Amino acid sequence: MNKNTLFSLLICIGLFPVLLQAQMSDLQVEADQLNYETENNLVTATGNVVLRKGAQSLKADIITYNQVTEQAFARGHVVFSDETQVWRGETLKYNFITGKGSFPGLQGESGPFKLKADQVERLGPIQTQLQGVTVTTCPDPEDPDFKIRAKTVDAYEEEIYVMRNPVFYLHGIPFFYLPRLTLDPQRKPTNVDVIPGYSSRDGLSLLNSFSRYPKDGYRTKTILDFRSERGFAAGQNFYWYNPETNRDHTTLKFYGALDDSPYRNDTQQTEYESQGITVEEERYRIKFDTRQEITPTDTFWAKASYLSDAKVVEDFFEDDYRNEPVPETRVAYSAVGNIWNANIDLTRQLNQDEFESVNKLPEATFNVPLVKMGDLEMMYESETKAGYLERTYSEFQRDNGSEDYDSVRFYTDHMFYYPTKSFGWLNITPRLGGNITYYGNTQNTETKVNTSSTADENGIITTSFSTNTVTTVESADVRVLPQFGFETSFKAFGIVHDQATNLGRGLRHVVEPFADYTYVPESDLTPDKIFQFDDIDELGEEHTLEFGIRNKWQTKRAVDNGHHQIHDLVNTALSTEYDLRSDADPSLGNILWDTELKLADWVWTRFDISWDTDESQTDSANAEVLFKDKHSGNYISLNQRYRVDDTNTTQLEYELNPKGKLGFKGYTRYEFEDAGFEEQHVMFTIQTDCIGYGIGGKWRLGDRYSDGSSDEDDYELWLQFWLTAFPRAVLGTGSR
């Protein structure tokens, strides 16, 4: 019998055959008094009775055992325990020959579970039945805040704990029912998430999910949602994973909704339809994802999404939409060698009528990262890609004149480097190489001007002009782009001091001027003659000099075993690029300033600024400050994003005391262009000994339409609770 199964925990009487049959061998008995009744074949142990066998022990005030019928009776403070479990009761009756017995008033513990049963009947060697059962994770099983009640529970050696018609209670109030529930402390527990809430868009909502772990490496989640303004929705998720490595996984998700209100209002419907977006009442998403490590150096992964419409993810899966607004379908296989890596990639947009995409059908890649060439003082790197590419447009784009195109493409880029050092301090690294690209199809674009003249009744002639751009597919062609260049830099440093401070031991200032010269002659096959798929197709003539200066302030900080390592307190770089072509306008590129600060373990700062020298204005500016305590989990993150004529946004994200009794987390986004908040989230949490409670809210500025109108602001409120013994079910938001 497996000691670790809940069957062995559930009822100590199932272990008595092992314990008492060993009375004449390795069973240790301690008692204040032992009495033998030879005529009746009885042994009675009285007073502080302890029976031990290995890690198992049975304690009682009195234990009587019949050596012929093997009937045992223990009474008074009966306690059974082993390494991880404790069971308590007042009396025990058990017959080791028939395998039947009873244990009224049972209490026990197993992992996070505490169990109490009014009556236990041993029905046979592999089955035990309990009556009037209460299961909880709270410390006080007599009056728990949360409990599961079932009239009948069957316990087996394999499928441990089968509760029939269990009812879930919170503070004595029933809130959930299941026809059957199986618990096994050897496996991950069943999770039930119930999130009531209210949204200005969805009305009253009740989002429910039920997660099960039938066996190691497999779990399921069943979803049933209700939104008063939209109707019912349901989903089923399946998860397969490698429990040993937790790297290989497969996920399959289904979600469907009968949406009574797919559009917020007539204005939104008109706006969507003007963009070619149609939303029906029957909405769904099917999502698949897998990653499999075939060998330590070979990996296979795939992902796919199929949607009912272009807005279903945005409406029902807000977090997924933020991470991937356009669904991707991809199959890839990668391999890694000692000095190379390769992969083959197949992508195809399954929702072609809704989204524009670049499809790889397929594309293979072979890379050699920068590597030393044997005994030569030279370095080499290369990248080669070959595949069939296709750009497809949405149905709306095709109806408005965009045409799909495709081409076979073979691209190979090779570069050789010769690092040198002159005068003992000046680094000069010339490079020579280039790339060759073959295109199965090219294009020729012509803009034609059409004129038409009309005369009115007074003989006045009016001439109008219109343009028409015509693109034709041309034959295959090759683009050759040789490249020559060199990088140069040197470092100078000075010791500011060598004393120990709060920042570290000593302070050093390092200055590194650098320059990078690149020359690529113009090819006959220019980007305007090439179908555009990615950055490779934009390559062309280049004659530039990039130059700048990098400054570092460094110290030494202690690591393991008393050693010290160099730590960058400040790392800042100022650079720009000058275009040496005679027709370049402007010649001087943007001035870039990039800085990273790591003054302490609990704070990190980075900012970058791009100054447009032609317009004499800031083109972009980004900044991020992160305060984080790795022990408590507290963090505050502040982000600033600026793009000229586009956005000027500040985002604040924080979580305080996530492991404590009271917690607080939130998110705020402020747009300076409109001088107002765009979005705010907040959630408060309270954790007791066994239950966590959360109340959250979310507000978002209403959508704005092309006609100048806007919707009312969106807001949501939701409640959530979870068992602190199983915090994996914690802190969702009000959406899926």
Q: 3-class secondary structure for 210-259?
A: EEEEEECCEEEEEEEEEECCCEEEEEEEEEEECCCCCCCEEEEEEEEEEC
Tell me how many helices (H) and strands (E) the chain has. Answer: 6, 45
pLDDT of residue 130: 82
Instruction: Output phi, psi for 315, to 5 deg.
Output: -80, -35
pLDDT attached to residue 12: 39
Which pair of tokens denotes residue 727? 């915090």
* Whole-number Å distance between alpha carbons of 421 and 656: 52
Which residue in the block uniquely carries the two structure tokens 């002009």?
Answer: 465
* Residue 67: strand, helix, or coil: coil
Q: What is the rounded average pLDDT of the residues 407-417?
A: 97
461-480 exposure pattern, b = at least 16 Cβ within 10 A, e = fewer: eeeeeeeeeeeeeeeebebe
Average pLDDT over residues 596-604: 93
Sign of the Cα torsion 198, 199, 204, 205 reads negative
The secondary structure of 716-727 as a DSSP string is EEEEEEEETT-G
DSSP-derived letter for residue 701 is P
Over residues 517-538, mean pLDDT: 95
Q: Greater confidence, 79 or 234?
A: 234
Report which DSSP code applies to 398.
H
| Strand spans (E) along 402-528 | 405-417, 420-422, 426-439, 442-455, 461-474, 477-489, 492-501, 504-520
521 secondary structure, DSSP code: P
Tokens (6 digits) for 73: 């009776």
Token pair 């109008």 is at which residue?
A: 464
Work out whether strand 426-439 and strand 405-417 pair parallel, antiparallel, or are unpaired: antiparallel
Interval 219-229 mean pLDDT:
93
CB atoms within 10 A of CB 281: 13
Find the mean pLDDT for residues 254-282.
Answer: 93
pLDDT in the model for residue 10 = 39
Task: Choose among 79, 107, 110: nearest CA to 4.
Answer: 110
Q: Which two tokens stand for residue 170?
A: 């919170």
Residue 644, token pair as written in the block = 């000229």
More confident residue, 691 or 420: 420
Tokens 């096959």 label which residue? 525
Is residue 330 pLDDT above 60, yes or no?
A: yes
| Contact by Cβ (8 Å): 1, 157 | yes
Closest CA to 199 of 164, 230, 162, 155: 230
Flag the least confident range among 247-261, 404-418, 466-480: 466-480
3-class state of residue 527 by DSSP = helix
pLDDT of 527 over the 80 cut = yes
The torsion angles phi and psi of 332, rounded to 5 degrees, stand at -145, 150
Angle at 439 between CA 433 and CA 444, to 5 degrees: 115
Question: Is residue 125 pLDDT above 60, yes or no?
Answer: no
User: What is the C-alpha separation between 719 and 198, in angstroms, rounded?
Assistant: 9
Tokens 């670790």 map to which residue?
4
The letter for the amino acid at 547 is F
Local confidence band at 394 (pLDDT 50, 70, 90 cut-offs): very high
Give residue 8's pLDDT. 41
DSSP 8-class letter at 562: G
Report which of residues 80 and 675 the model is more confident about: 675
Q: Distance (Å, rounded) from C-alpha 5 to C-alpha 14? A: 12
Report CA Rg, the chain: 36
What pTM, to 2 d.p., does this model score? 0.76
Three-class secondary structure of residue 274 per DSSP: helix
